[in-house]
């Protein structure tokens, strides 16, 4: 179980140039015993099978874990998207954290890691065709 699956998914989606994922929540069952169902969308498309839980937080975590697995199981490159190389992304996060000032927020570290990851892949010619983002 990844306790920060939602944050990891957000960081990876941003690093890949997919934008920020949205989490759509529906509730089923009686008010005293609800079941939450979460669907993850990235770029308007459903990513993974979603997640279910007894709390909204658990359902979001489960859905984020499933979306991360969907990203890992996908083909390395898809049209208009950045490929996912988990080891490279992990190293970019580590480097960004190592070089960040002590007062840097986690979100700032994630953004810097995303920039490092994209710059490296762009330099190696592994980015999507026609991507001109800086």
On the 0-12 / 13-18 / 19+ scale of CB atoms within 10 A, 76 is exposed
Specify the range with the lowest mean pLDDT, choosing from 72-81, 83-92, 118-127: 72-81
User: In whole angstroms, what is the distance from residue 49 CA to residue 58 CA?
Assistant: 15
Q: Which two tokens stand for residue 112?
A: 């810097």
**How high is the pLDDT of residue 77?**
36
User: In whole angstroms, what is the distance from residue 33 CA to residue 83 CA?
Assistant: 41
Summarize pLDDT for 35-56 with one digit per residue, the tens: 999 999 988 889 989 999 999 9
User: Following DSSP, what letter does each residue of 75-125 receive, concatenated?
Assistant: -S--TTS----HHHHHHHHHHHHHHS-TT--HHHHHHHHHHHHHHHHHHTT
* Separation in Å, CA 14 to CA 27, 30, 42, 54, 82: 28, 37, 10, 28, 10
Residue 80 clears pLDDT 60, i.e. is over it: no
């Amino acid at each position: 179980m990844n306790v920060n699956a939602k944050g990891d998914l957000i960081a990876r989606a941003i690093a890949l140039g997919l934008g920020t994922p949205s989490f759509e929540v529906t509730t089923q069952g009686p008010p005293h015993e609800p079941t939450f169902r979460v669907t993850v969308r990235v770029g308007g498309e459903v990513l993974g099978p979603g997640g279910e839980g007894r709390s909204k937080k658990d359902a979001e975590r489960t859905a984020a874990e499933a979306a991360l697995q969907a990203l890992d199981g996908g083909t390395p490159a898809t049209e208009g998207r950045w490929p996912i190389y988990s080891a490279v992304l992990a190293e970019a996060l580590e480097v960004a954290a190592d070089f960040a000032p002590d007062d840097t927020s986690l979100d700032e570290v994630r953004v810097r890691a995303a920039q490092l990851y994209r710059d490296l892949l762009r330099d190696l010619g592994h980015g999507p065709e026609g991507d001109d983002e800086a």
